[in-house]
Structure 1
């Protein structure tokens, strides 16, 4: 029988240090784990089914409001209305405003968007707005999540097929399960070097459709803005496939106000601000220039006035509406040509009972979406309205207005 090994005091001390180190390491891993700073409360039962309104209301009053600082527009998904504020995304009962579910992280909330009957929330960590999660709209149940390097500020938008996450240096396109189909711009740690067509460009605006992604960028060495048209889902997500890329040459193309407005399957609409007259050239009004699917100019349409920094675009089905800061312009789904204008609009519209509800100073104008004529006026008394852009949404018989970092329910 072997004698037991001799155990010294130093052995005991070393063993204690190792054990303490393992405990500390385990605590650090636990403290930094994503789940540690997450509070997810799902609905006990799915949200009740909401029936679409068949008639327009004759008047509307504010019933409830909630903080909604992280969304860019009034959001509904499934049978809930969605708010985002202070790191928390909430699915609410549209009538009462009660939280049916919520998802909270101990991180800043970069963006909230809805698509595919889900809610997509993106949070900021040390890698930028890099952590995204997709939640079931009616229950708040987590479906999928993704992480990747992103800019510190991004805008997330959906085109009905893809989600576009756009920052000033980098963008990504995601499909319905948040799998990345394209990365473009700055790459933190490229797997395959030299796959990006240009380096050091500032991505100024972008919009997508099921077959085209249009990016307006300003690149080193270019005299003006560049319009690049990409495949939103190339064979390799790390290797962009260009349909075309060209430096813009129309007057005003160097302006920081130029932006991509809308993209269809084979056309791209780009906004140009007015230009001042020179000794050799007359000044030009604001214009909408339509390009083909490779970036070539097709047509130019003068606009009634300059768009301000509140300008925003919304899609309702195949219809595209641009709020200029002072009016609402409908664009033809086929040609992207301006079709009609509602002057005096305060923001973007929503559909209710077959009419387009457009926010105006006195409340909501019910507009014929075919020709832009106003068929009814619905009065609304707005609490604490400071001239912010109003984003409108409808769920059942409840109308929602997002303005000033708050979501207001009108019933």
Structure 2
């Protein structure tokens, strides 16, 4: 009897298990698929960010030097390096940090030797540092949209984010958040670069109606742990508008506004107004003078209502900066440093003849002055000593100070200088 049981034919086990024969067409198809895969991999590599990135992390983490217990009696320039992308002198993780072109570099603060380097084939929009990390924001075809976070002590890549941004931004850090602000939109980021807030222009059509206003130009902004203050000019307002928001609302795409106020005060419709500082329940604005009024520092509450104003003797230049040191905000006015209480913004003291923004060393406030660095009592602003320093290639521009261990960093003229004994 036939084991197949059907149609009078027979099927053997060998016939069932016999392998299919590969034809010439099959082999050619397989080769073609392999070639396509290889070409696709090459194309992806050629256009990927990795191809245009050079990362040279440190083999050993830099050590945080001990804080200086006393001020040096004299200073000299130990080294210098390009630093055209950072807005201020930066230090974190025991290194001096500089950004220039497409490169972020960590330097040994004493020798100036490279500790690590991170480089991309696109220009930097800004560099900032806090939490022992460094972030560099780069410009691509979507604007200043690509941000990378590095460990400050090694330069190793931690994380990154990408989003639509303006082609020019101001990048700041407040001790809690990073803030990236352009003329059309801003974003607030956590310490892991997760976005906590987007404000202004929104590229996702589904989210447009979540914004309180549209078509506004963002002029200035500063974030704090509980408040974000934005100075903007919106169609139909007739003057600048101060908006106070939650920097980390429940939904990052839906701003929570504590208050918004069109500046009817003198100087509210004059170019040059900007946010100078933010505390838990106060906002400090600079209002330029008009033809009949003097420039002022205006204090608003946490819901954007005016509380008081203080007159200034002269207008603030665009290079004016604000630095938080301890329980005071220190404003570099272009020719002096004005100390304000960090909670109320009440004036504390004023130090004349300043060339730039201050730093803290051995319990004293350091400010750059002509031919020296002046040390001030942090409570009274009284000068205690001057440390002579000869500055090479200095052309009277603003100077930003930072301190790491016993080294003082000066950023000026697009370079960072290490000063020591």
Normalization by structure 1: what TM-score?
A: 0.94
1:61 match:
76
Note if 1:355 corresponds to 2:355: no
How many residues matched? 403
Query: How do 1:217-232 and structure 2 match up within 5 A?
Result: 217-232=232-247
- How far is 1:18 from its partner? 6.2
Q: What are the ranges of 5 or more consecutive residues in structure 1 without an aligned counterpart? A: 277-282
Q: Does 1:76 align with 2:91?
A: yes
Q: Which residue of 2 aligns with 1:312?
A: 321
**CA shift for structure 1 position 311:** 1.1
Compared with structure 1, are the counterparts of its residues 5 and 135 closer, same or farther at alpha carbon in structure 2 (3 Å cutoff)?
Answer: closer
Cα deviations by residue, 1:89-115 (Å, 9 ceiling, x for unpaired):
111111001111111111111111011
User: Is 1:49 matched with 2:64?
Assistant: yes
Q: Does 1:323 align with 2:338?
A: no
Equivalent in the alignment of 1:236: 251
Structure 1 counterpart SS, 2:310? strand
Instruction: Report whether the alignment pairs 1:208 with 2:227.
Output: no
**Aligned 1:227-306 pairs, distance under 5 A:** 227-276=242-291, 283-306=292-315
Q: How much has 1:313 moved relative to structure 2?
A: 1.5
Which range is displaced more, 223-232 or 25-34? 25-34
**C-alpha separation between the residues in 1 aligned to 2:265 and 2:74?**
47
List aligned pairs for 1:321-400, cutoff 5 A: 321-400=330-409
Consecutive unaligned residues of structure 2, counting only runs of 5 or more, are: 1-14
Which residue does 1:135 correspond to in 2?
Answer: 150
Question: CA 1:123–1:182 in structure 2 vs 1: closer, same or farther (change >3 Å)?
Answer: same
Mapped partners of 2:257, 2:220: distance in 1: 17
* Residues 127 and 149 in structure 1, CA contact (< 8 A), matched pair in contact too: yes
Pairing of 1:146-225 with structure 2 (within 5 A): 146-225=161-240
Cα distance in 2, alignment partners of residues 311 and 382 from structure 1: 21
Q: Retained in 2: the 8 A contact 1:272–1:288?
A: yes
**Is this contact kept in 1: 2:271–2:288, CA < 8 A?**
no
The range that moved more, 324-333 or 231-240, is: 324-333
CA contact (8 A) 1:170 1:187 kept: yes
| Kept in 1: contact 2:270–2:290 (CA 8 A) | no
Offset of residue 158 of structure 1: 1.1
> Quick one: distance in 1 between partners of 2:73 and 2:84?
30
- SS in structure 2 at match of 1:192: helix
What's the offset of the Cα at 1:26?
Answer: 2.5
Deviations 1:249-308 (A, max 9, x none): 0011111200010000000000011111xxxxxx22110000000000001111121111
State the TM-score, normalized to the length of structure 2.
0.91
Q: Is the 8 A contact 1:301 1:337 kept in 2?
A: no
- How far residue 5 of structure 1 moved from its aligned partner, in angstroms, is 8.8
Of 60, 85, 95, 2:110 maps to 95
Cα-Cα RMSD = 1.9
Mapped contact 2:217–2:233 kept (Cα < 8 A): yes
